[in-house]
A and B are shown apart, each in its own frame.
Chain A
Amino acid sequence: MNKHKDRVQGSLASLGPFLSGKKRRRDATMQNRTHTQTMLNGYRVLDLTDDKGALCGRILADLGADVIKIEKPEGDNSRNIGPFFQNIPDPAKSLFWFAYNLNKRGITLDIETKDGQELFVRLVRKADFVIESFTPGYMERLGLGYSALSKINPRIVMTSITPFGQTGPYKDCKVSDIVVMAMGGFMYITGNPEDPPLRISVPQAFLLASAHGAAATMIAHYYREISGIGQYVDVSAQQCVLWELANAIPLWELNRIILKREGSYLSGRWTGTRQRLLWPCKDGYVIFYVMGGIAGAQTNRRIFEWMEEDGMAPDYLRNFDWEALDMAEQTEGMQQLIEEPIANFFLTRTKEELYIEGQKRGIIIAPVSAMKDILADPQLAARDFWVEIEHNELRATIRYPGAFVKASETPCVVKHRAPLIGEHNLEIYEGLLGLSRDTICILKQAGVI
């Protein structure tokens, strides 16, 4: 490993009397990580985020980093986000918390207290990354902004995940998921034309931002490893939603067309027509679209052959020249003549039949899957995507979505469940920072940890 970190011993001025002369222990976690090779072996992340940034830390943890979630002493607010284990609302039973804090260790620390700030600074000396999702300016006000932290540890990579980023007129705006999905442009192009714009029913904006945050953090990490210099990463959730808008922006810039929501139709791709995406079938819905050109011709011919087997192909499409079907020239009327018999045919099959038999015939028809379908998916099972994680505190084993990539040389590891409130306080404060047990007890009673 080419990593030689500055391990400067700090003094906890305000805790002076509590800090017994105990020697700093060897970092236990650094030792047991030499055997399994992961991308982020031996790197430590201080994760101060709530629901706005939790997935970022989870991704770094899956890549092998030692991610330490830092919560305030009473526990992070995002522990109150549902759904809950057995539908019991309890900060120790949030499935949202479980999912995005999997694989992390957890400590409590009130960084608004002087002692808490001192402890945080000591942790920063032993860390490689800090990620946070407070409102812009909060960390600076505590004296823990990037400029302060980089003086303590010049190698530190600090990432902030916020609704609108750290700069610009909207930086202090108050948001929720729906507000960011609206301001980022997703909602205007989603939904039925006669209904209000629509969001995805579960929060997404900060998951997009967190995933992007992990990518940007890794880029800064790479630069740090080649240059020795850390830096500050400023992620805007609004811009992460903006990334999702397909061709909406250039459609406006070049053609002065405002892309509008069209229900389950694709529009603005090929002149003249829109393509139907959603089709009812026997037991639900499938996604399919008729494409033109060489790419579409093969599929279209195959689907009509399939319909013919059931006597469901209309005469007027029997000798149709599919190669000549040019979506740029396609009229709405012609499109309907093609789509109508397909719609009738789909009603005679289940989504699974259409999906599987379609693939055999080289036709792409995808099911609109519910969670039940996804959990029963044989492909995901065959790839060992799911991981069974022991929850000893609940006397249960829970099935989680596993790592997001299969890396041949440095496999991701999903090792353990999300931490309980302050679960690793002793490990970290005693083991890593070398505080005495007495000191830790005092800090707990003083509400610092």
Chain B
Amino acid sequence: MLEKVFDKVKVLDLGWGLANPLSLKTLADYGATVISVESIERPSLLRVNQPYKDFEPGIDRSGYYAYLFSNVHSITLDLKKASDLEIVKRLAAWADIVGDSHRPGVIESWGLDYEELRKINPSVIMIRSSNQGLTGPRASYRGYGNHLNGLAGFVNLTGWPDREPVCFMMAYTDYFVPHFAVAALVGALEYRQRTGKGQLLDMSQLEVGLELLAPWLLNYSVNGVEEKAKGNRCDHAAPHGVYRCAGEDRWCAISVFSDAEWEAFCVAIEKPAWSQQQKFATLKGRKENEDELDRLVEEWTCNRDAYDVMHLLQKAGVAAGVVQNARDLYCDPHLTERIAFWTAEHPVLGNFSFLAQPSRLSKTPAQLYRPAPCLGEHNEYVRRELLGMP
């Protein structure tokens, strides 16, 4: 058995939304005990999302929840009930880290905010992660990750020139805010190890989101230039885009930056006459004739298999990759070798693939310790074993 980094670390997740529970789940992947509080009326939002096993809705049948939340424990509590609130407080006293992602004000009404928790657990580390942070005039604004995609500027930078922007299928920020949160949480944990001092981490998901757009925020703040959506094009590369390949909705991404890469590209496609025209020989020429270039490249790709295009160009040293869909990714030999998914038995879903961590630590890798929990699966365990209640 490999060693667990967070073997003795105890985490209470007061829940809600996706970003913060996913941060705390990451700690569970490295061995922390994470107790996630849900209620029958308000289970994790993901539990009522598709896909369901056999298309049949059911609180423990959602593959969306299970996919993301392996390794955590689930307890159901009704915080409007004094006896259940008492249990949460006992868990807060037990925990090293308490996480919350309700809108500011909600846990205050339960008496579970940082000042209150400190009375029962003086060195507690608390992370409060919300749409716009704990302070400021808009602290209490409601919102989900799908809204932040717009508010943080990502949607405005996605789409085709002079057409309406395109929203994302996923709550984009929800999945990368955890990287930042984990960095801060682990730092706080190590600091506490050293000094005995806990702290409050106030995380605005909007602010975190903006870190991924910093250069283009600077372009406005310094130069007054508003970055615009430009489809799949890139100012300093051509061809640069996705090109239709053989089959239904199959595409390959290709990007050619330097003239040397262009020459390699031409050799790989066996130098058809059009590719040898002088106007395509330089980046400037390719940019000036980009519409025509894109059409010609697509004429070459459109009857070829997307993977053949990728491998042929890769062999020549040209950056190319298939626009992979879920089935491709699920069967991707590279992702299989990387163990991008942990496969194990889930009590309701059967043999199932849980999302694994996107990196590998050589001595203490993240591991699957248990499948994602059914709602309230650990009620007994938490009461009896963790809290020693009768």
B329–A249 touching, CB < 8 Å = yes
B149–A287 touching, CB < 8 Å = yes
A133-172 vs B, Cβ < 8 Å mask (1 yes, 0 no): 0000000000000100000000000000000110111110
Asked if B109 CB lies within 8 Å of chain A CBs, one says: no
Alpha-carbon gap, A215 to B186, bound state (A): 8
A171-210 vs B, Cβ < 8 Å mask (1 yes, 0 no): 1011110111111110111111001111111101001110
Segment of B77-85, B269-277, B280-288, B334-342 engaged in the interface with chain A: B334-342
Segment of A18-26, A94-102, A117-125 engaged in the interface with chain B: A94-102
Residues of B contacting A236 in the complex (Cβ-Cβ under 8 angstroms): 338, 358-359
Residue from B66, B225, B329, B360 in contact with A234 in the complex, judged by beta carbons closer than 8 Å: B360
Residue from B217, B340, B359 in contact with A374 in the complex, judged by beta carbons closer than 8 Å: B217
Q: How far is the CB of B75 from chain A (nearest CB, A)?
A: 22
Q: How far is the CB of A174 from chain B (nearest CB, A)?
A: 4
Segment of B90-98, B240-248, B373-381, B382-390 engaged in the interface with chain A: B240-248
Alpha-carbon gap, A201 to B216, bound state (A): 11
B150–A55 touching, CB < 8 Å = no
A211–B211 touching, CB < 8 Å = yes
Given contacts A197-B251, A231-B362, A260-B249, contact A401 B214 (CB under 8 A): yes
Segment of A27-35, A237-245, A316-324 engaged in the interface with chain B: A237-245
B326–A248 touching, CB < 8 Å = yes
Chain A, residue nearest B135 (CB):
A383
Q: How far is the CB of B302 from chain A (nearest CB, A)?
A: 12
Q: Which of B133, B226, B235 has the most CB of A within 10 A?
A: B133
Asked if A250 CB lies within 8 Å of chain B CBs, one says: yes
Chain B, residue nearest A406 (CB):
B202
Residues of B contacting A235 in the complex (Cβ-Cβ under 8 angstroms): 358-359
Given contacts A83-B219, A378-B137, A400-B218, contact A252 B164 (CB under 8 A): no
Residues of A contacting B249 in the complex (Cβ-Cβ under 8 angstroms): 260
B180–A96 touching, CB < 8 Å = no
Given contacts A263-B166, A404-B211, contact A188 B362 (CB under 8 A): no
A196–B244 touching, CB < 8 Å = yes
Residues of A contacting B148 in the complex (Cβ-Cβ under 8 angstroms): 366
Alpha-carbon gap, A233 to B157, bound state (A): 32
Residue from B63, B139, B180 in contact with A251 in the complex, judged by beta carbons closer than 8 Å: B63
A202–B186 touching, CB < 8 Å = no
Asked if A226 CB lies within 8 Å of chain B CBs, one says: yes
A251–B326 touching, CB < 8 Å = yes
Residues of B contacting A231 in the complex (Cβ-Cβ under 8 angstroms): 361-364
Residues of A contacting B184 in the complex (Cβ-Cβ under 8 angstroms): 39, 63, 404-405, 407
Q: Which of B222-250 contact A (CB under 8 A)?
A: 222-223, 225-232, 234-237, 240-244, 249
Alpha-carbon gap, A238 to B150, bound state (A): 24
Asked if B220 CB lies within 8 Å of chain A CBs, one says: yes
A381-400 vs B, Cβ < 8 Å mask (1 yes, 0 no): 01101000000000010111
B338–A409 touching, CB < 8 Å = no
Q: How far is the CB of B293 from chain A (nearest CB, A)?
A: 15
Asked if A435 CB lies within 8 Å of chain B CBs, one says: no
A371–B153 touching, CB < 8 Å = yes
Given contacts A40-B187, A236-B359, A374-B153, contact A184 B223 (CB under 8 A): no
A259–B326 touching, CB < 8 Å = yes
B164–A280 touching, CB < 8 Å = yes
Looking at chain B, what size class is its interface with the partner chain?
35 or more
A-B contact pairs, 17 of them (CB 8 A): A86-B222, A146-B362, A176-B234, A178-B241, A185-B328, A189-B325, A212-B179, A233-B361, A233-B362, A238-B334, A249-B67, A249-B330, A249-B341, A255-B63, A259-B169, A398-B222, A407-B199
Q: Which of A221, A250, A378 has the most CB of B within 10 A?
A: A250
B153–A266 touching, CB < 8 Å = no
Asked if B167 CB lies within 8 Å of chain A CBs, one says: yes
A277–B146 touching, CB < 8 Å = yes
Q: How far is the CB of A358 from chain B (nearest CB, A)?
A: 9
A202–B227 touching, CB < 8 Å = yes
Residues of A contacting B110 in the complex (Cβ-Cβ under 8 angstroms): none
Asked if B111 CB lies within 8 Å of chain A CBs, one says: no
Asked if B86 CB lies within 8 Å of chain A CBs, one says: no
B190–A246 touching, CB < 8 Å = no
Alpha-carbon gap, A253 to B355, bound state (A): 12
Q: Which of A165, A209, A267, A371 has the most CB of B within 10 A?
A: A371
A207–B133 touching, CB < 8 Å = no
A182–B242 touching, CB < 8 Å = yes
Q: Which of B49-89 contact A (CB under 8 A)?
A: 49-53, 55, 57, 63-64, 66-67
Residues of A contacting B137 in the complex (Cβ-Cβ under 8 angstroms): 378-379, 382
Asked if B322 CB lies within 8 Å of chain A CBs, one says: yes
B318–A219 touching, CB < 8 Å = no
Asked if A72 CB lies within 8 Å of chain B CBs, one says: no
B358–A240 touching, CB < 8 Å = yes
B173-212 vs A, Cβ < 8 Å mask (1 yes, 0 no): 0011011111110111111011001111111101110111
Q: How far is the CB of A353 from chain B (nearest CB, A)?
A: 15
Asked if B102 CB lies within 8 Å of chain A CBs, one says: no
Q: Which of B197, B242, B352 has the most CB of A within 10 A?
A: B242
Residues of A contacting B278 in the complex (Cβ-Cβ under 8 angstroms): none
Segment of A103-111, A268-276, A336-344 engaged in the interface with chain B: A268-276
Given contacts A232-B362, A369-B153, A398-B218, contact A252 B194 (CB under 8 A): no
B155–A399 touching, CB < 8 Å = no
Q: Which of A37, A229, A379 has the most CB of B within 10 A?
A: A379
Q: How far is the CB of B271 from chain A (nearest CB, A)?
A: 20
Q: How far is the CB of A232 from chain B (nearest CB, A)?
A: 4
Alpha-carbon gap, A96 to B219, bound state (A): 9
B334–A362 touching, CB < 8 Å = no
Asked if B367 CB lies within 8 Å of chain A CBs, one says: no
A362–B142 touching, CB < 8 Å = yes
Asked if B117 CB lies within 8 Å of chain A CBs, one says: no
B51–A178 touching, CB < 8 Å = no
Residues of A contacting B255 in the complex (Cβ-Cβ under 8 angstroms): 176, 178-179
A249–B353 touching, CB < 8 Å = yes
B221–A2 touching, CB < 8 Å = no
16 new A-B contacts, CB < 8 A, other than A63-B187, A409-B188, are A99-B215, A178-B255, A179-B253, A183-B321, A200-B157, A218-B183, A239-B338, A264-B167, A285-B150, A368-B150, A369-B153, A372-B220, A383-B204, A406-B201, A407-B199, A408-B201
Chain B, residue nearest A378 (CB):
B137
Alpha-carbon gap, A258 to B327, bound state (A): 7
Asked if B37 CB lies within 8 Å of chain A CBs, one says: no
Residues of A contacting B314 in the complex (Cβ-Cβ under 8 angstroms): 173-174
Residues of A contacting B190 in the complex (Cβ-Cβ under 8 angstroms): 39, 218, 221-222, 225
Alpha-carbon gap, A200 to B230, bound state (A): 9
Chain B, residue nearest A294 (CB):
B41
Given contacts A95-B219, A370-B226, contact A254 B150 (CB under 8 A): no
Chain B, residue nearest A82 (CB):
B235
Alpha-carbon gap, A169 to B141, bound state (A): 46
Given contacts A364-B142, A405-B202, contact A219 B235 (CB under 8 A): no
